[in-house]
Amino acid sequence: MITTVPAVYREALPLGGRLLGLDVGTKTIGTALCDAQWTIATPAELIRRTKFGRDMEALRRLAETQQVRGLILGLPLNLDGSDSPRTQSVRAFARNLAPLGLPILLWDERWSTQAVTRTLIDADASRARRAELVDKVAAAYILQGAIDALAMAA
């Protein structure tokens, strides 16, 4: 199941459980995890993209070892809310994750990278350190926004 509606997603996970947030880029996939009660998102690992089969296996391993019950993918909409070529790419990526058998929530990520970059600059992170952190911290930002919305959908 793939949805953009938090209430529908919540119904697919009546018992809660850990969620895995993904910031899917062309070169990397930033990941983040939340606790089973959906209160706080934490950056996890950065997956360097290669072939989809390898990317899928890395995500499968992470989901299994962390007992993940659902996925949240950042959806890169245009500023006016319309789809872009990147949006279509992420939607296709989500469809290709179907073999994992986990419900997927597509979450608007329009401002995530900018907000995270600004926070890292304010924290005086070097350019190299920001490049290393931005994708997985953006995944946590996306996941936190989604779990906050899921709490309100209860």
Q: Could you write out the DSSP letters of every residue in 72-129?
A: EEEE---TTS---HHHHHHHHHHHHTGGG---EEEEE-TTHHHHHHHHHHHTT--HHH
pLDDT digits over 4-43, tens only?
Answer: 899 899 888 877 789 999 999 889 899 999 998 899 999 9
Superfamily assignment of 2-152 in CATH? YqgF/RNase H-like domain (3.30.420.140)
Q: Which residues pair with 107 in a beta bridge?
A: 74
Residue 28: phi, psi to the nearest 5? Answer: -140, 165
This prediction has a pTM of: 0.84
Residue 127: is its pLDDT beyond 70?
no
Q: What residue spans define the domains of the chain?
A: 2-152
